Amino acid sequence: MTVFRLEQIEDGGFAEVQWQVGGASESVIVHRDGDTARAWLNICPHAGRPLEAAPGHFVKTRDGHLMCAAHGASFELQGGECVAGPCRGQHLVAVPVEVRDGEVRQL
């Protein structure tokens, strides 16, 4: 399933998409890192709330981490591990993706 072209996300930025994950429609965060992308469910492991500050608007810390707007938990962008805040040591739920011919695709 092709979601969008990678160029639609600013390098280092995020996009929110709706995907079928495990048979249910889920909000998914896609992060662009150069020519690659990573994706996670848009759910903070601390309280089960979306991570975004406003629909489709995600906060990045000065250290380059994704921050939960509700409680300030910060997640590194390689594996989605919480490195600061109330869920330290927990992880965002990864959604496998690939970039092929400039298109971000869910695996």
For the chain, domains (ranges, CATH) are 4-106 (2.102.10.10)
Q: Do the beta carbons of residue 99 and residue 105 sit within 8 Å?
A: yes
Residue 98's pLDDT is 96
Tens of pLDDT, residue by residue over 62-103, are 999 999 999 999 999 999 999 999 999 999 999 999 999 999
- The whole model's pTM is what? 0.93
Q: Is residue 1 very low, low, confident or very high in pLDDT (cuts 50, 70, 90)? A: low
Q: Is residue 2 very low, low, confident or very high in pLDDT (cuts 50, 70, 90)? A: low
Residue 89's pLDDT is 96
Q: Do the beta carbons of residue 22 and residue 28 sit within 8 Å?
A: no
Residue with tokens 């959604």: 95
